[in-house]
C-alpha cells in the first residue's frame, strides 16, 4: 500500500507564518527591531504569495494573465516573477 503525502494548504501555512512574524512586530522593543520584523513580514508574504501563485498555475490551471490581474501586474510581469518557480514545481511533480 502506498501512502500519498498531501502538501499543506499554502494559505493555511501562510497564515501561520505571517502570524508568527506579526508577533515579532508586536513585541519589537526598538525601531530597529520593528523594521527588522517588517522586513521579515515582507519576505514571508513574498514566499506565501509565490506558493499560492505556483499552486494556482500548476494545479488549478490559472494563466499568467489571470495571476497578473489578481496581483495588479501585467501577464508578462507575472510570468517573469513566478514562471521559474512554476516550472520547477512542474518538474518536481513529474
Q: How many structural domains are present in the chain?
A: 1
Considering only residues 87 and 3, tell me which one the structure prediction assigns the higher pLDDT.
87
Q: Is residue 1 part of a domain?
A: no
Q: Is residue 43 part of a domain?
A: yes
**pLDDT one-digit tens code per residue, 17-58:** 899 899 999 999 999 999 999 999 999 999 999 999 999 999
The DSSP annotation for the chain comes to -PPPPPPPPHHHHHHHHHHHHHHHHHT--SHHHHHHHHHHHHHHHHHHHHHHHHHHHHTS---HHHHHHHHTS-HHHHHHHHHHHHHHHHHHH-
Full residue range of the structural domain in which residue 81 is found: 10-93
Please tell me whether the overall predicted TM-score, pTM, comes out greater than 0.85 for this model: no
Predicted confidence band at 71 (pLDDT cuts at 50, 70, 90)?
very high
Amino acid at each position: 500500500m502506498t501512502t500519498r503525502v498531501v502538501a499543506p494548504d499554502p494559505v493555511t501555512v501562510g497564515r501561520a507564518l505571517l502570524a508568527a512574524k506579526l508577533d515579532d512586530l508586536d513585541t519589537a522593543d526598538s525601531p530597529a527591531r520593528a523594521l527588522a520584523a517588517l522586513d521579515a513580514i515582507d519576505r514571508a508574504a513574498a514566499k506565501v504569495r509565490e506558493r499560492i501563485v505556483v499552486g494556482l498555475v500548476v494545479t488549478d490551471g490559472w494563466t499568467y494573465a489571470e495571476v497578473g490581474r489578481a496581483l495588479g501586474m501585467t501577464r508578462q510581469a507575472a510570468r517573469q516573477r513566478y514562471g521559474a518557480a512554476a516550472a520547477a514545481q512542474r518538474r518536481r511533480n513529474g
